[in-house]
Structure 1
Amino acid sequence: MVSRSLEKMMLIAVGLSTAVIIGVPVLLYAIDTMATTQHLQEGELAAQQIFNATRQVDVGEYDSRSIQVYLPAGISITTDSDYTLIITLNLGVDPPASNAIWSETFLHPIVISPPTESGNYNMTFTLESNVIYITYSLI
């Protein structure tokens, strides 16, 4: 009788140990995936807002446009050949999916000195002398 109880307890212990050994890494992977997805969504939202405001100034809808935008950690904003605005988000994961990149080419050259840290920014897009200037200030 004692040996059957001990056997049942050992089977339960082995089952629980197996569940923990397999379940914890799977749970941690799922949490990491959700965090990466949220980071990607924040970067995509910021890129859309920046591209929309730049486009509105570029096509002459506005001479100057201001937006408030949250820039997540790991985001960089650059220009390539002056007319292309490139937004890169470092996702903090191993390659091949280590960065998300969005880019758009505009009719006017773009001048920007990009922010170096994450946070909420007030960004102003101004067309002066056929050049789009993007300035920002931390809120």
Structure 2
Amino acid sequence: MVSRSLEKMMLIAIGLSTAVMVGVPVLMYAIDTITTTSYLEDAQVVAAQVHNTTKQVDVGTLPNATIQVHIPVGIMMSAEGNTLTILFNYQGVEPQTWIETYDHPIAINPPPGAGNYLMHFELDSGALHITYS
């Protein structure tokens, strides 16, 4: 009688152990996928905000502008001449690039890393300056 109960308890323990050994990696993969998707969505929002605000200042709709943005992990911004490039490169995701060309040359001081920033856009001396604080 005792041995049958012990046998059942061992089978239950083995079943639970197997479920945990299989379930935990699957759960961790799902969490990682959700995190990566969240970073990509944040990157799309930032790219849209930055390009929209840059365009408004570039064409003179606004003399200057300040926006609050959340820069996710994996975002890089650069400017060459009149072209502003925003690149999202994060592990396991195909790199995404948002490129726009404007009427004025762009000078950008890119953010040091991920986080919340105030971005200031100003047209000064014929160049569009983008700074962070």
Scaled by the length of structure 2, the TM-score of the pair is 0.84
Which residue does 1:106 correspond to in 2?
102
Which residue does 2:89 correspond to in 1?
90
Amino acid at match of 2:17: S
Which residue does 2:117 correspond to in 1?
121
| Aligned residue-pair number | 133
Deviations 1:89-136 (A, max 9, x none): 332x24xx2633222222322111212133322222122343211122
- Partner SS state of residue 103, structure 2: coil
Deviations 1:49-70 (A, max 9, x none): 1111001112221121221222
Deviates more, 1:122-131 or 1:12-21: 122-131
Distance 1:120 1:6 in 2: 57
Amino acid at match of 1:124: H
- Partner SS state of residue 110, structure 2: coil
Distance 1:65 1:40 in 2: 25
Structure 1 residue 19 corresponds to structure 2 residue 19: yes
Which residue does 2:132 correspond to in 1?
136
Distance 2:70 2:6 in 1: 58
Scaled by the length of structure 1, the TM-score of the pair is 0.81
Distance 1:13 1:23 in 2: 15
Distance 1:71 1:53 in 2: 15
Distance 2:109 2:4 in 1: 73
Give 1:24-43 correspondences, 5 Å limit: 24-43=24-43
Identity of aligned residues (%): 53
What stretches of structure 1 move > 4 A for 4+ residues in a row? none
Which residue does 1:8 correspond to in 2?
8
Distance 1:119 1:21 in 2: 35
Could you say what the CA RMSD is over the residues aligned between the two structures, in angstroms? 2.0
Unaligned runs of 5+ residues in structure 2 are none
Amino acid at match of 1:102: W
Q: CA deviation at 1:46?
A: 1.7
